[in-house]
């Protein structure tokens, strides 16, 4: 589906895009006629498959290997965008990880890993994108992948919730700082989406049913539904939108316990 003709020929960089939401966003952007620079950390085979799929559909995609928590990857991805496609219009900070741990038993290394990838990785991507946009006076666009856990507390994953809360306020602050440059910065907060990050839940019928019961619409989201939000945020249709988080969560962030089924 190509809904936004103005996206044709634009260039997007997307971190963590060998699977899950990053992959779906890359595929959707390619369908819109955008050229995409993807990123994988270790899964080279999966990445090649994604690129082959995009090329089979007539799109253009290249990939850069690397870890978003390491300084230099974001710059490498932007350099790749310039060398392959001549420019960069949009940077999507998507890569993210989660590991369950009780807070009183949490290893400091575990805490640091989550903050490093989800929050520090987002900072590194945003900084590199801003530097490029400001130096070239480009009215660029940045999208950060947050989560409903930027507002919903998450026991067992307190580091994850802290990282996404950080992404929320970082997104807003950067949006305000660069609004005079006409650089837009927004976040997407997915609810529960069927991607490899939720593999265990999806493969356990009882857990899956429990999750569906928790979501007001009783539907686990599809990656394409998040990619649709990312396409709209990339498009001119959202040209006046900056510093906000778009929730795509089937109502998960609406205090479900107040819902009609719990009366
Ligand atoms: P996933 O586990 O299916 O995919 C994550 C991608 O990020 C993979 O391609 C992985 O290789 C990559 N990645 C992980 N660490 C990396 C690193 N250090 N450097 C480079 N790449 C790295 O996860 P999913 O579901 O696609 O999640 C994507 C984003 O969406 C994450 O930020 C996650 O927190 C967020 N999210 C996902 C939700 C869901 O239900 N699937 C809900 C809310 C937010």
**Count of Cβ atoms closer than 10 Å to residue 90 Cβ:** 23
Task: Identify the H or E element spanning 143.
Answer: strand 141-145
Q: Are 19 and 46 in contact (CB under 8 A)?
A: yes
Smallest Cα–Cα separation from 93: which of 15, 24, 176? 15
Smallest Cα–Cα separation from 93: which of 68, 62, 66? 68
Q: Which of 132, 157, 160, 178 is catalytic?
A: 160
Q: What is the pLDDT of residues 61-106, one digit of tens each?
A: 999 999 999 999 999 999 999 999 999 999 999 999 999 999 999 9
pLDDT at 161: 98
Residue 159 resides in a domain: yes
pLDDT band per the 50, 70, 90 thresholds, residue 111: very high
Say whether 29 is catalytic. no
Judge whether residue 233 has pLDDT over 90.
yes
In Å, how far are 91, 213, 234 from 195, measured between CA atoms?
21, 18, 22
Sign of CA dihedral 219, 31, 167, 176: negative
pLDDT at 177: 99
Residue 257 resides in a domain: no
Task: Point out which residues pair with 37 in neighbouring strands.
Answer: 13, 62
Residue 263 resides in a domain: no
Residue 260 resides in a domain: no
Rounded to an integer, the average pLDDT of 5-13 is 98
- The token duo for 20 is 């899950």
Distance CA 168, CA 150 (A): 6
Smallest Cα–Cα separation from 91: which of 129, 117, 118? 129
Rounded to an integer, the average pLDDT of 186-194 is 98
Question: Ligand 1 pocket test: which of 95, 115, 222, 245 has the largest number of ligand atoms within 8 Å of its C-beta?
Answer: 95
- CATH number, domain with residue 77: 3.40.50.720
Secondary structure (3-state) at 39: strand
Model-level ipTM above the cut of 0.85: yes
Residue 178 resides in a domain: yes
Q: Are 17 and 50 in contact (CB under 8 A)?
A: yes
Query: Which residue's C-alpha comes closest to atom 32 of ligand 1?
Result: 96
Residue 39 phi/psi, 5-degree rounding, is -150, 140
Distance 238 CA to ligand 1 centre (A): 24
Kindly report the average pLDDT of the chain as a whole number: 98
Judge whether residue 1 has pLDDT over 90.
no
Distance 137 CA to ligand 1 centre (A): 31
Distance CA 18, CA 250 (A): 25
Distance CA 23, CA 215 (A): 24
Alpha carbon 177 to its chain's center: 21
Q: What range defines the domain where residue 11 resides?
A: 5-252
Number of structural domains the chain divides into: 1
**Count of Cβ atoms closer than 10 Å to residue 103 Cβ:** 11
Distance 241 CA to ligand 1 centre (A): 24
**In what order do the strands lie in the sheet containing 60-65?**
60-65, 35-40, 11-14, 90-93, 141-145, 184-190, 245-248
Q: What is the pLDDT of residues 212-226, one digit of tens each?
A: 999 999 999 999 999
Secondary structure (3-state) at 156: coil
Judge whether residue 189 has pLDDT over 80.
yes
Residue 55 resides in a domain: yes
Distance 93 CA to ligand 1 centre (A): 10
pLDDT band per the 50, 70, 90 thresholds, residue 263: confident
Residue 22 resides in a domain: yes
Ligand 1 pocket: which residues have CB below 6 Å?
Answer: 15-16, 18-22, 39-41, 43, 67-69, 94-97, 117, 145, 147, 190, 192-193, 195-198
pLDDT band per the 50, 70, 90 thresholds, residue 244: very high
Residue 242 resides in a domain: yes
Question: Ligand 1 pocket test: which of 197, 226, 245 has the largest number of ligand atoms within 8 Å of its C-beta?
Answer: 197
Distance 22 CA to ligand 1 centre (A): 7
């Amino acid at each position: 589906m190509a809904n936004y003709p103005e996206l044709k020929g634009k260039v997007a960089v997307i971190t963590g895009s060998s699977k899950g939401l990053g992959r779906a966003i890359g595929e959707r952007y390619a369908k819109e006629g955008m050229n995409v620079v993807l990123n994988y950390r270790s899964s080279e085979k999966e990445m090649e498959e994604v690129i082959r799929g995009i090329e089979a559909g007539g799109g253009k995609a290249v990939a850069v290997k690397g870890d978003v928590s390491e300084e230099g990857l974001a710059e490498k991805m932007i350099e790749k965008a310039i060398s392959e496609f001549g420019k960069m219009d949009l940077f999507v900070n998507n890569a993210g990880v989660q590991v369950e741990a009780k807070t009183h038993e949490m290893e400091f290394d575990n805490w640091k890993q989550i903050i490093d990838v989800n929050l520090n990785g987002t900072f590194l991507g945003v900084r590199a994108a801003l530097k490029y946009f400001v130096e070239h006076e480009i009215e660029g666009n940045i999208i950060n992948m947050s989560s409903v856990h930027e507002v919903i507390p998450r026991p067992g994953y307190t580091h994850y919730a802290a990282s996404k809360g950080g992404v929320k306020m970082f997104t807003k602050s950067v949006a305000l700082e660069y609004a005079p440059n006409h650089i837009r910065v927004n976040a997407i907060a997915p609810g529960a989406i069927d991607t490899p990050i939720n593999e265990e839940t999806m493969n356990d019928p009882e857990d899956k049913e429990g999750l569906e019961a928790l979501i007001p619409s009783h539907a686990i989201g599809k990656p394409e539904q998040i990619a649709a939000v990312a396409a709209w945020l990339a498009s001119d249709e959202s040209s006046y939108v900056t510093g906000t988080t778009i929730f795509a969560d089937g109502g998960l962030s609406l205090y479900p316990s107040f819902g009609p089924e719990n009366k």
